[in-house]
Amino acid sequence: MDKLYFVVGSQDLYGEECLKNVAKDAQEMTEFFNQHLKNVKVELLPTVVDSKTCIEDLRKVSCDDECIGVMTWMHTFSPAKMWIKGLQELRKPLLHLHTQANEKLPYDTIDMDFMNLNQAAHGDREYGFILARMRIAHQVVAGYYKHAKVLEKIGKFIDVARAINFSKHLKVGSFGNNMREVAVTDGDRVESQIQYGWECNYFAVGDLVKVINEVTEAEIDEKMAEYTSKYTMKTTRIDSVREQAKYEVALEKFLKKNDLGAFADTFQDLYGLKQLPGLAAQNLMGKGIGFGPEGDYKISALSAVLMKMSEGRPGATGFIEDYTYDLTEGEELELAAHMLEVPVTLAKTKPEIDVLPLGIGGKEDPARLIFDGIEGDGIQVTMVDMGDHYRLICADIEFVKQPKPMPNLPVARVMYRHKPNFNIGTAAWCYAGGAHHSVLSTALTREDLVLFARLTGTEIICIGDDTTEADLQKLAWDKYQK
């Protein structure tokens, strides 16, 4: 299980008795966290009493592959120069928990011993200074550690830390290159690896075709059984569906063999495939595999990372492409989809498997899943390469039921309303340089993305009900500053 280390700060100024109490309280808190925090094991490290213990603790945090992050707290005053060298070695997400072992002040009995032992108000400020002084990105969570709100915030940090750990180990395979002439889906792969850990490498589609051609009828039968257990078979063209089943079996093998958690393809380079991978890609995304069409390795990787972040939470997360609008004044809506590959995670209705013409790509009619999209509050997130830095854009949106049936639309679809309204929301996205490929989520919030951005050193632009005309003007102006 993922591990979160807990490091408590003190010093030897207050005597042995005080340090014993610090260790005892820290142990009690650790046990409480283990009872109340999900999907993580909290492990207490020795109390930091000097520079040496701090270096030892934070080296352990940085070198343990099972560790996703560290939570620190100053039970007493812990002079922050003792923390400098340890913090210089820290390479994991950092949470500064600003709390106390006691909830209430013992007004009747409080004396100087109590004051010396329980002085986070004092020690955590000293510590906060050194984090600020050293420009170390971190999250502060303030409040009594047993309060539900505090636990919830720690839980969110854990989700983001888990996603960052996943990101640092993520390998992305590209079949073919970026779609010809398309700008926003391209990016600096070297920088992606430096900043996010994504190992983005090219694979010949011919090597995948070799695996496809070796898939057995029995393996296809098994995949077909998976499809029919999950989806409604609307088509009678079963051979076309079996072709997709074969692609998915081969893709699963290929991804596993090369340790890939995400992949991208391009319809301009699919030699040896009769269909575009539609259903196959849709079903794989339902298993947390990142996918980017048209060579978009960034959205493939980002979608895998955000699916990891939302693991265990209610709601859906998945890739989408902005497509077309209903511009009825005051009631503007967006219809988002993709030419095939809308992830099954975004389905509200039971998906139907159908085989229909595509009208692009010059291949045989591909099997795909068709469904109506999720509803409720959510976010839309994209990442663009600005040349000298990456930028995340996160817009609050409201997923809505499609106002009318669309019987002739041969793809899965999602509809949403922009915030604060269509004019400001979409103009802000355009000014920010937002892509037409993004990740949608009803499981994540702006708060999660802001934390992810901070901990990975990424610029983020947020759009929502708090975005105004004045923000728009500022965004428009900033964008043209060199």
Q: What minimum distance in Å lies between the beta carbon of 297 and Mn ion?
A: 13
Cα 453 to Cα 232: distance, rounded to the nearest angstrom? 39
Of 32 and 323, CB closest to Mn ion: 323
Interface residue with Mn ion, options 126, 243, 252, 321 (CB under 5 A): 321
Of 57 and 321, CB closest to Mn ion: 321
Q: What minimum distance in Å lies between the beta carbon of 323 and Mn ion?
A: 9
Cα 299 to Cα 263: distance, rounded to the nearest angstrom? 10
Of 277 and 293, CB closest to Mn ion: 293
- The contact pattern for Mn ion, residues 277-296, with x = CB under 5 A and - = no contact, is ----------------xx--
- By CB under 5 A, which span of 58-66, 151-159, 318-326, 423-431 interacts with Mn ion? 318-326
Cα 208 to Cα 413: distance, rounded to the nearest angstrom? 29
Tell me which residues in 16-55 interact with Mn ion (CB under 5 A): none
- By CB under 5 A, which span of 118-126, 279-287, 315-323, 406-414 interacts with Mn ion? 315-323
Tell me which residues in 371-390 interact with Mn ion (CB under 5 A): none
Q: Identify whether 420 is preceded by a cis peptide bond (ω within 30 of 0).
A: yes
Longest dimension (CA), the chain: 82
- By CB under 5 A, which span of 202-210, 229-237, 255-263, 317-325 interacts with Mn ion? 317-325
- By CB under 5 A, which span of 120-128, 313-321, 377-385, 452-460 interacts with Mn ion? 313-321
Helix (H, G, I), strand (E, B) or coil at 472: helix
Are 123 and 76 in contact, with CB atoms under 8 Å apart? yes
Of 291 and 416, CB closest to Mn ion: 291
Q: What minimum distance in Å lies between the beta carbon of 293 and Mn ion?
A: 5
Which distant-in-sequence residues (6+ apart) come within 8 Å of 158 by Cβ? 2, 4, 37, 39, 40, 68, 69
Q: Which residue is nearest to Mn ion (CB)?
A: 321
Which distant-in-sequence residues (6+ apart) come within 8 Å of 251 by Cβ? 208, 263, 277, 280, 281, 284
Of 43 and 294, CB closest to Mn ion: 294
Helix (H, G, I), strand (E, B) or coil at 166: helix
Give the tokens for residue 65. Answer: 């592959």
Cα 232 to Cα 61: distance, rounded to the nearest angstrom? 48
Of 252 and 321, CB closest to Mn ion: 321
The reply to whether 341 sits near Mn ion by the rule CB under 5 A is: no
DSSP state of 413: B
Cα 360 to Cα 59: distance, rounded to the nearest angstrom? 53
Helix (H, G, I), strand (E, B) or coil at 398: strand
Instruction: Write out the residues near Mn ion by the rule CB under 5 A.
Output: 293-294, 321
